[in-house]
């Protein structure tokens, strides 16, 4: 009896009745009904009824004749097809059968008669019982797939060998089955066969796919699974475990290397506390596992080729391990001492190699050995760069998200404070003219409040939550306007060179914010060349036919305008290059940089749907490149953001304003500003108080001025509720957050505009006036 690795315990469901069989039965029934109708027509008492039954009988007889002719034609064709198939399989050297959907065997070829007892079994299930366990489940599974797709096959491992069962649906209710015997391939002798160190190749399911000569010699035979070889599972790479040998359990040190496709190569090294002779260590030289032998004082005694490739030219004999790697959180000497004393709790450590050309992380396992009666250590290394890079990217994304949320919240609170400061300053300026001694102080307060608002804007840019005033921009005109200012910024020692592509297309961005990005990049380039040099600003038109992938980012295909800012300064080291866009990270000395410049630039470019990359070579220079998508000149509905217009002579307005603001200083300033313009102002400290006020139907409100984010019900929610009873009231939303944070909510509220904080007295009154008129 064979043994099938996949056993299905369910019973076979009934097969549907073939169309050929049902076709024959239908013909018989039609003729029978026609005959009955003909007899009833003869016996009918009236002539009219007799003629009707006779007509029906004749019609059914003709229909039955047509069906019978069609069925007979189909049966002949099917019989002819089966004759061709039977003639074909008769010459096949593989055992083949023709069976119906019920598994009844119709034809067997000579090869099948030789291999199987076809006279004793008339069904496919009975015939295959001698080869497979539970053949009914296998036959049903394959036949169902063949009905759906036309053919199916399955490889089955049995005690007698590896067999393949194939089925083809060749005609209705007919299937051709083939049973192929697959010879076991003789594994070619690989390079590992000649190695002195035992090596095995293990699959996903812990099946042993390959053993070299040394491994077979150690174990005594060819085994097929890890549980037949090791006395204890699971196997932890870099640790000591026992293997079963003809002489009894033997301790080995397991080193593991990923071999792709879910396979692992395991090398069985001499176990710790065993003598390691010179010949044994020489056997490690060609292993594909980085190995280092370390003395008790931490100096490198010897290493193999893979370790030299991984660590680089700094790996030499008598070099201390601390000069090669770092990142334990404690000294390398303490780590080595703990390992030698057997006090090491954590077997595996992740360290960073001290390479200057690239960043490499390694997973290191230290194991104690005894050589010539003296202790030593074997360090087994695994490349963990990809793992640590993914971990770092995840941590970085979480950190950037958290800092972005913090920056947005801080900016919101600061905007409320700045609104109150600048607003009350505007109120004071209304009562003082230029001849007043306090006028200059008030102007200074106002200017510094505006500078603080600009700093808050940087925080919002980093968190990508500031409101952008997008417009179509020609980069040549923008840089031409900036040239005079940039030349003053770089000084006399540095030459600023601008080069433009003659076929530049417009981009869509906030001009003021984009100018800030360009100035920041030029200033950074200047600071990187204290002895002078040249800064090149190059604009080009670029059409990407396929997506561009770099720095773990994919730039979609399309048209772009690129801006390159290059210098020939000191450059940025590879270890710092991937951190330049992080907030508060700076390469400048303490007190000379905030670390917000490039992170702000990153936020502005990202919010403009663009990309920013950096390339740098230490000692040669740095290049920043911006990718800005080309703006298609077609009407695009932009968000309504209030533009402050020059104010004319003040005049008194009329109207009733409902002001809803939870911050008392902001509410006090806004109320006084609107009353000074002549409006009647009703104040509410929350949305709930505002709705309570609106219950008085005699109140005629012209404009709602409301904060967006408030405790309890937010601005858009209470406004939608209020507009159900007062649909004609216009709305002014004010917020310290960006408009994008509730843009979709605003678009569903008619006659509404957005006024970002901090706003001045003129900003507020002009916005309300525009809404009224």
Contact 177, 96 (CB under 8 A): yes
Say which residue the tokens 């990142």 belong to: 327
Query: Region 369-379: what's the mean pLDDT?
Result: 80
What is Dmax (Cα atoms) for the chain? 131
- For the chain, what is the mean pLDDT? 78
The whole-number pLDDT of residue 688 equals 92
**Taking Cα atoms as reference points, which of 176, 131, 139, 177 lies closest to residue 157?**
131
The DSSP output letter for 12 is P
Q: What confidence tier does 434 reach under pLDDT thresholds 50, 70, 90?
A: confident
For residues 208 and 229, the answer to whether their CB atoms sit within 8 Å is yes
Average pLDDT over residues 266-278: 62
Q: 694-701: long-range contacts (C-beta < 8 A, 24 or more apart)?
A: 694/658, 694/722, 694/725, 694/726, 699/656, 700/656, 701/656, 701/657, 701/658, 701/726, 701/729
Cα 537 to Cα 519, 705, 712, 766: the distances in Å are 11, 46, 51, 40
Looking at residue 13, what DSSP letter applies? P
**Would you say the pTM of this structure is higher than 0.75?**
no
pLDDT mean over 578-593: 62
**Radius of gyration of the CA atoms of the chain, in A:** 42
- Model pLDDT, residue 14: 38
Beta strands in 135-198 (DSSP E): 151-158, 161-171, 174-182
DSSP 8-state code for residue 376: E
Angstrom distance (rounded) from CA 737 to CA 467 = 8
Model confidence at 652: pLDDT above 50:
yes
Tell me 749's DSSP state.
S
pLDDT score recorded for residue 659: 92
Q: Crossing angle for the helix pair 385-430 and 761-772, nearest 10 degrees?
A: 80
Counting Cα atoms < 13 Å in the Cβ hemisphere of 525 gives 34
Over residues 342-372, the pLDDT tens digits come to 776 566 788 888 887 777 888 888 888 877 6
Q: Map residue 522 onto helix, strand or coil.
A: helix
- Which residue, 318, 323, 385, 332, is CA-closest to 354? 323
- Highest mean pLDDT (candidates 113-117, 315-319, 398-402, 632-636): 315-319
Q: Is residue 224 pLDDT above 90, yes or no?
A: no
Residues of 35-72 as b/e, b for ≥16 C-beta within 10 angstroms?
Answer: eebbebbeeeeeeeeeeebbebbeebbeebeebbeebe
Report the pLDDT value the prediction gives residue 563, as an integer from 0 to 100.
Answer: 94
Contact between 76 and 67 (Cβ < 8 Å): no
Helix (H) or strand (E) holding 394: helix 385-430
255/461: higher pLDDT: 255
In 3D space, the residue among 515, 401, 538, 522 whose CA is nearest the CA of residue 469 turns out to be: 515
pLDDT band, residue 466 (cuts 50/70/90): low
Phi, psi values for residue 258, rounded to 5°? -70, 135
DSSP 712: S
Q: Measuring CA to CA, which residue among 251, 347, 333 is closest to residue 297?
A: 333
Residue 262 binned pLDDT confidence (cut-offs 50, 70, 90): confident
Sheet holding 248-260, edge to edge: 208-211, 199-202, 263-270, 248-260, 240-245
Whether residue 65 has pLDDT greater than 70? yes
Which CA distances in Å does 89 have to 125, 183, 301? 20, 21, 69
Write down the pLDDT at residue 611.
Answer: 92
Report the pLDDT averaged over residues 315-328. 85
- Name the least confident of 28-37, 297-306, 416-425: 28-37
Q: What is the pLDDT of residues 603-635, one digit of tens each?
A: 788 878 899 999 988 888 999 999 999 987 654
Cβ neighbours of residue 56 closer than 8 Å, sequence gap 6 or more: 37
Residue 191's pLDDT band (cuts 50, 70, 90): very low
Q: Is the pLDDT of residue 561 over 90?
A: yes
Neighbours of 399 (CB within 10 A): 12
Q: Closest by alpha carbon to 218, among 237, 195, 194, 244?
A: 244
Residue range 703-740, pLDDT digits in tens: 999 988 888 888 888 999 999 888 889 999 988 776 55
pLDDT of residue 691: 92
Alpha carbons within 13 A on the beta-carbon side of 162? 5
Output 73 or 57, whichever has higher pLDDT. Answer: 57
For residue range 510-540, list pLDDT tens digits in order: 887 888 889 889 988 998 888 888 999 999 9
- Taking the alpha carbons of 667, 668, 670, 672 in that order, is the dihedral positive or negative? positive
Phi-psi region of 251 (alpha: psi -120 to 50; beta: other; left: phi over 0): beta
Report residue 1 as tokens. Answer: 């009896």
Q: To 10 degrees, what angle do helices 439-462 and 385-430 make?
A: 160
């Amino acid at each position: 009896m064979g043994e099938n690795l996949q056993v299905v315990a369910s019973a076979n469901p009934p097969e549907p009745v073939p169309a050929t069989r049902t076709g024959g039965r239908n013909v018989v029934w039609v003729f029978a009904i026609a005959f009955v109708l003909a007899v009833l027509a003869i016996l009918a008492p009236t002539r009219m009824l007799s003629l009707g039954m006779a007509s029906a009988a004749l019609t059914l007889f003709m229909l039955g004749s047509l069906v019978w002719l069609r069925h007979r034609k189909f049966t002949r064709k099917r019989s002819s097809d089966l004759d061709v198939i039977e003639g074909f399989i008769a010459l096949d050297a593989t055992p083949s059968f023709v069976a119906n959907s019920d598994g009844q065997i119709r034809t067997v070829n000579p090869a099948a008669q030789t291999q199987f007892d076809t006279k004793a079994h008339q069904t496919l299930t009975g015939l295959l019982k001698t080869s497979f366990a539970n053949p009914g489940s296998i036959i049903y599974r394959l036949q169902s797939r063949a009905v759906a797709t036309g053919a199916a096959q399955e490889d089955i491992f049995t005690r007698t060998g590896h067999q393949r069962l194939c089925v083809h649906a060749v005609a209705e209710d007919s299937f051709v089955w083939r049973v192929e015997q697959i010879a076991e391939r003789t594994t070619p002798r690989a390079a590992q066969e000649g190695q002195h160190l035992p090596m095995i190749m293990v699959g996903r399911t812990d099946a042993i796919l390959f053993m070299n000569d040394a491994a077979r010699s150690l174990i005594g035979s060819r085994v097929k699974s890890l549980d037949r070889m090791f006395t204890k599972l699971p196997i932890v790479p870099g640790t000591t475990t026992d293997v079963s040998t003809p002489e009894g359990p033997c301790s080995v040190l397991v080193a593991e290397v990923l071999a792709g496709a879910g396979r692992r190569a395991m090398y069985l090294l001499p176990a710790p506390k065993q003598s390691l002779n010179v010949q044994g260590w020489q056997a490690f030289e060609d292993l594909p596992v980085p190995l280092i032998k370390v003395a008790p004082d931490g100096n490198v005694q010897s290493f193999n080729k893979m370790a030299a490739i991984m660590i680089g030219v700094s790996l030499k004999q008598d070099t201390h391990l601390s000069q090669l790697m770092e990142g334990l959180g404690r000294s390398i000497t303490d780590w080595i001492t703990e390992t030698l004393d057997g006090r090491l709790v954590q077997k595996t450590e992740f360290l960073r190699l001290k390479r200057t050309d690239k960043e490499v992380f390694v997973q290191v396992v230290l194991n104690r050995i005894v050589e010539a009666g003296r202790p030593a250590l074997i360090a087994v290394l695994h490349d963990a760069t990809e793992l640590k890079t993914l971990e770092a990217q995840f941590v970085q994304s979480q950190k950037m998200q958290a800092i972005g949320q913090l920056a947005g919240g801080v900016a919101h609170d600061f905007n409320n404070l700045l609104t109150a400061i600048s607003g009350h300053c505007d109120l004071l300026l209304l009562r003082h003219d230029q001849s007043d001694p306090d006028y200059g102080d008030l102007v200074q307060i106002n200017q510094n409040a505006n500078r603080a608002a600009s700093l808050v804007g940087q925080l919002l840019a980093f968190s990508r939550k500031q409101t952008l005033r997008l417009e179509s921009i020609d980069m040549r005109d923008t840089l031409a306007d900036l040239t005079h200012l940039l030349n003053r910024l770089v000084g006399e020692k540095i030459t600023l060179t601008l080069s433009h592509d003659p076929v530049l297309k417009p981009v869509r961005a906030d001009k003021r914010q984009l100018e800030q990005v360009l100035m920041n990049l030029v200033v950074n380039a200047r600071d990187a060349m204290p002895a002078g040099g040249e800064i090149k600003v190059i604009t080009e038109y670029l059409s990407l036919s396929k997506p561009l992938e770099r720095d773990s980012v994919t730039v979609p295909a399309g048209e772009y305008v690129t801006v390159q800012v290059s210098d020939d300064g000191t450059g940025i080291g590879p270890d710092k290059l991937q951190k330049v866009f992080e907030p508060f990270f700076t390469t400048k000395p303490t007190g000379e940089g905030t670390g917000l410049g490039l992170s702000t630039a990153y936020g502005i470019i990202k919010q403009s749907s663009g990309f920013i990359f950096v390339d740098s070579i230490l000692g040669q220079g740095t290049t920043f490149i911006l990718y800005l998508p080309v703006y298609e000149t077609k009407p695009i509905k932009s968000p309504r953001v209030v533009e402050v217009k020059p104010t004319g002579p003040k005049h008194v307005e009329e109207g009733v304003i409902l002001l809803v603001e939870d911050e008392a200083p902001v509410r006090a300033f806004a109320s006084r500003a609107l009353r000074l313009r002549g409006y009647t102002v009703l104040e509410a400290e929350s949305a709930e108080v505002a709705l309570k006020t609106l219950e008085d139907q005699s109140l005629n409100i012209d404009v709602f001025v409301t904060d967006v984010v408030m405790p309890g019900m937010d601005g858009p929610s209470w406004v939608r509720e209020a507009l159900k009873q007062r649909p004609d009231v216009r709305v002014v939303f004010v917020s310290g957050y960006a408009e994008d944070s509730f843009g979709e909510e605003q678009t569903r509220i008619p006659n509404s505009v957005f006024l970002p904080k901090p706003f001045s007295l003129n900003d507020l009154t002009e916005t309300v006036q525009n809404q009224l008129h």
